[in-house]
């Protein structure tokens, strides 16, 4: 079997256990060698993350200490242009070569809104789609278009992910971790404790930087 890498994009404002725990479980089930965390560049016309790009990077650095599965890939943050996942995957595909299996990890909420992504139907020609569960976002809630696409490409065979470079959708049996970055930001505003929601080093950094207090 080839070594399999996967990428996991997000705003990570902040990174939290809802990102880390499901992806660690997914990686174990799918026998992934490495997961590249890809913090997004948010274009100026969109609501901006509260943390700066540097702060989001710093939080990710703290989050992956002692988590050897993960690596940070800052290429989208370094660009001035919006982050198109499909464009990043094209670059990664060129780097990894045509045969190497590549995965794109998303949560079920992102799966349901995938048809709004730029060139979403090209994603599967570049990578597999590896989906983490997320409470409140069952696949049955997806549009008929997404469900038909899912039925066409879904597999339950991990070997297929390793034997093909791209083209399959795999739903991982990941724990439901009911945490969101929005929820964490709201709790901070309300003065509620958050230290059970994200790694201690990330939480210390948030406190030191005074993030999410206004």
Instruction: Name residues whose C-beta falls within 8 Å of residue 148's C-beta, 6 or more positions apart in sequence.
Output: none
Stretch that binds ligand ATP, among 18-26, 75-83, 194-202, 206-214 (CB under 6 A): 18-26
Run of H or E including 5: strand 5-10
CA quadruple 191, 196, 202, 205: dihedral sign: positive
Shortest CB 179 distance to ligand ATP, Å: 5
Shortest CB 135 distance to ligand ATP, Å: 8
Based on the shown chain and the rule CB under 6 A, indicate whether residue 142 belongs to the binding site for ligand ATP.
no
> Which residue, among 56, 72, 73, 75, has the nearest Cα to 64 in the 3D structure?
72
Based on the shown chain and the rule CB under 6 A, indicate whether residue 188 belongs to the binding site for ligand ATP.
no
DSSP string, 127-193: -EEEEE--TT--GGGS-HHHHHHHHHHB---HHHHHHSSS--EEE---------HHHHHHHHHTT--
Out of 94, 156, 182, 190, which residue is the one contacting ligand ATP (CB under 6 A)? 182
Out of 107, 142, 165, 199, which residue is the one contacting ligand ATP (CB under 6 A)? 107
Shortest CB 98 distance to ligand ATP, Å: 26
Shortest CB 171 distance to ligand ATP, Å: 12
Q: Applying CB under 6 A, which residues contact ligand ATP?
A: 10-13, 18-19, 22, 106-107, 109-110, 132, 134, 177, 179-182
């Amino acid at each position: 079997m080839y070594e399999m890498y996967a990428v996991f994009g997000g705003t990570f404002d902040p990174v939290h256990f809802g990102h880390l725990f499901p992806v660690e479980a997914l990686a174990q089930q799918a026998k992934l060698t490495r997961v590249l965390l890809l913090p997004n560049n948010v274009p100026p016309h969109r609501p901006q993350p509260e943390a700066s790009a540097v702060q989001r990077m710093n939080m990710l650095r703290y989050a992956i200490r002692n988590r050897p599965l993960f690596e940070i890939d800052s290429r989208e943050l370094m660009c001035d242009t919006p982050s198109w996942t499909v464009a990043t995957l094209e670059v990664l595909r060129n780097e990894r070569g045509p045969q190497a299996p590549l995965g794109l990890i998303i949560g079920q909420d992102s799966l349901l809104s995938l048809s709004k992504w730029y060139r979403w139907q090209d994603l599967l020609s570049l990578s597999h789609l590896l989906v983490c569960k997320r409470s409140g976002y069952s696949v049955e809630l997806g549009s008929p278009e997404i469900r038909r696409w899912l039925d066409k490409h879904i597999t339950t065979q991990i070997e297929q992910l390793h034997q093909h470079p791209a083209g399959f959708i795999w739903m991982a049996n990941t724990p439901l971790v009911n945490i969101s970055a929005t929820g964490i930001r709201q709790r901070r505003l309300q003065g509620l404790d958050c230290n059970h929601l994200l790694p201690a080093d990330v939480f210390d950094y948030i406190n030191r930087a005074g993030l999410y207090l206004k």
